[in-house]
Chain A
Amino acid sequence: MRKTYLVVALFGLIAIVGNHLTSPSSGRAVSPEDFAGACAPCGAPCPSKK
């Protein structure tokens, strides 16, 4: 199990760093709730807005 864990942890870290270096990052970290019209932590709209 240790070998599996080592592979998963290293692969995960490489994936995180790779994604960060190849993707835009415009300013501070945000949650979907920070966007206008969001009504839930995932950014879903409010029922009344439909």
Chain B
Amino acid sequence: MSTATVAAPSTGAAIGIDRLFLGLAIGATAILVALVLLDSQPLSAALILGGFGLGVAFLKAEFSYTASWRRFITRGEAGGLLGGLIVIAICALVVVPIAALKVDFGGAIAPLGPSLVVGAFVFGIGMQLGNGCGSGTLYTVGGGSGRMLFTLAFFIVGSVLGSLSLPRFLALGGIDPVLASDYLGPWGGLAATLASIALAAVLIIAVAKKRGANWRPSRNYIAGGIAIGLLCVAVFFAGGHPWSVTFGYTVWGAKIANALGYDFSNAAFWQWPGPKHALAESVLSDTSSLTDFGMVFGAMAAAAATKPFAATAWPPVKSLLAAVIGGLLMGWGARLGFGCNIGAFVGGVASGSLHGWVWFAACLPGCLIGIRLRPLFGLSRD
């Protein structure tokens, strides 16, 4: 394995292209695209390439939901959260009306009940310990963080455990999804959704101002938010639903467990038509897996194009332990909470579904606890 680097004499910093990993990322993406095109599935290829673009955009903008939420909770800084709302607003402009008007498209909906609240709360704890949410884990793994390999591995384990727990939590009760467009029509639903996003932005800015903190998003977050929002729209058109991340993890984990001899035929979750189909079919037949793979390789390409890939040392054991616990909690919480920051919060709010805001409200206190636990593992509260 060779790393092509060009030293910058004036600064001493190593800059250059890591040809091995750049080639691996582009080659792997080309192979996956070729496989789905051989099956005459151009929309699947679009999902892989959309994911690739998301990986590049997240890495280049250093767009982090986890850090943004932490900065808001600990210091009152609102810029990151507002950047996230830019993504949601751009998605909502397309998702709410199209999902209501076109039969081939649908929004991200979910029932309201104990499962959603408990799942989002636990996810919030895990997100701060794991140091990345669903999308954050993908792009940092792709970007060369060895620590996040642990987070991803245990995210997958946790999500399979969550799939076994979800039916019992759903049995506790709940109400059907509440979708703005069902009550107000496509355009009224869009207006209500945009108003809810604007109200959230006003409240977040008010909190930041009251705490004397900076509320303006950085240029990175504005540009990144716009780019990610547009890519979310592209993924919506290619997949028929808003971008989601964590169902792919559950499928990968279940396929691995299946290969190792675990029988899911008695698990209620895996008898529902969607999960049963995903477990039986090729992993390239699952929309969330397609964008996930693209995102990892996109981030890998972006990282390897600018510096030696994965050239840092492994983090301390305590930090890895936090990654393991955080991954497990996020995986379990994502299944109970019907997704992560992307599938539940971004996708839910951008669809005009009330569960997106419920998820946000339940995840924030979980984040607060996660932040308080971080020093136990040698992680900063900031």
- Asked if chains A and B come from one complex, the reply is yes
Chain A interfacial positions (CB closer than 8 Å to B): 1-6, 8-10, 13, 16-17, 19-20, 23-48
Contacts of B253 in A (CB 8 A): none
Whether the Cβ atoms of B31 and A42 lie closer than 8 Å is: no
Q: How many residues of B contact A (CB 8 A)?
A: 70
Contact A32:B278 (CB < 8 A) given known A20-B35, A43-B272: yes
Determine the chain A residues whose CB is within 8 A of the CB of B318 once the complex forms: none
Q: Are B166 and A41 in contact (CB under 8 A)?
A: no
Any A CB within 8 A of the CB of B109: yes
| B286 CB contacts on chain A under 8 angstroms | 29-31
CB distance A19 to B109 under 8 Å? no
Given known A23-B281, A39-B109, A41-B244, contact A33–B274 (CB-CB < 8 A): yes
Q: Are B1 and A3 in contact (CB under 8 A)?
A: yes
Report if B72 contacts A (CB, 8 A).
no
Known contacts A25-B284, A43-B272, A46-B111; is A4 also within 8 Å of B149 by CB?
yes
Please state if A2 and B166 are interface contacts (CB–CB under 8 Å).
no
Contact among B146, B173, B176 with A4 in the assembled complex (CB-CB below 8 Å): B146
Contact B273 A35 (CB under 8 A): yes
CB nearest to B290 among chain A residues: A29
A48 → chain B closest CB, angstroms: 5
Once the chains bind, are A25 and B285 in contact (CB under 8 Å)?
yes
Distance between Cα atoms of A32 and B36 in the complex (Å): 19
- Residue B277 contacts which of A17, A30, A39 (CB distance < 8 angstroms)? A30
Knowing A2-B311, A25-B39, A32-B275 are in contact, say whether A39-B111 is a contact too (CB < 8 A).
yes
Q: Looking at the assembled complex, report how far the CB atom of A9 sits from the nearest CB atom of chain B, in whole angstroms.
A: 6
Would B247 and A41 count as touching, CB distance under 8 A?
yes
Could you tell me if A28 and B35 are in contact, using CB atoms closer than 8 angstroms? Answer: no
CB distance from B379 to the nearest CB of A (A): 19
Indicate whether B144 reaches chain A with its CB closer than 8 angstroms. yes
Interface 0/1 of B97-122, CB less than 8 Å to A: 00000000010111101000000000
Per-position 1/0 for B359-379, Cβ under 8 A of A: 000000000000000000000
Interface of B is mostly: helix
Interface residues in B119-155 (C-beta closer than 8 Å to A): 144, 146, 149
Tell me the bound Cα distance from A44 to B170 in angstroms: 9
Q: Which residue of the partner chain B has the closest CB to A37?
A: B273
Distance in Å from the Cβ of A12 to the closest Cβ of chain B?
8
Specify the chain B residue showing the minimal Cβ separation from A48. Answer: B176
User: A24, B272: Cβ atoms under 8 Å?
Assistant: no
Choose, from B9-17, B40-48, B187-195, B226-234, the stretch at the interface. Answer: B40-48
What are the residues of chain A within 8 A of B309 when measuring CB–CB? 2, 5
Q: Among A8, A24, A40, which residue has its beta carbon within 8 angstroms of that of B111?
A: A40
Q: Could you say which of B47, B239, B244, B314 contacts A1, with CB atoms under 8 Å apart?
A: B314
Instruction: Give B163 Cβ to nearest chain A Cβ, in Å.
Output: 8
Complexed CA–CA distance, A13 and B177 (Å):
37
Are the CB atoms of B113 and A33 closer together than 8 Å?
A: no
Interface-centre pick from B149, B282, B290 (highest chain A CB count, 10 A): B282
* Contact in complex: A42, B282 (CB < 8 Å): no
Contact status of A25 and B282, CB under 8 A, knowing A1-B312, A32-B247, A40-B110: yes
- Which A residues touch B288, using CB under 8 A? 31, 41
Q: How far is the CA of A17 from the CA of B273 in the complex (A)?
A: 24
A44 and B21 contacting across the interface, CB-CB below 8 Å: no
Cross-chain contact B1 with A6 (CB below 8 angstroms): yes
Q: Does B53 have its Cβ within 8 Å of any Cβ on chain A? A: no
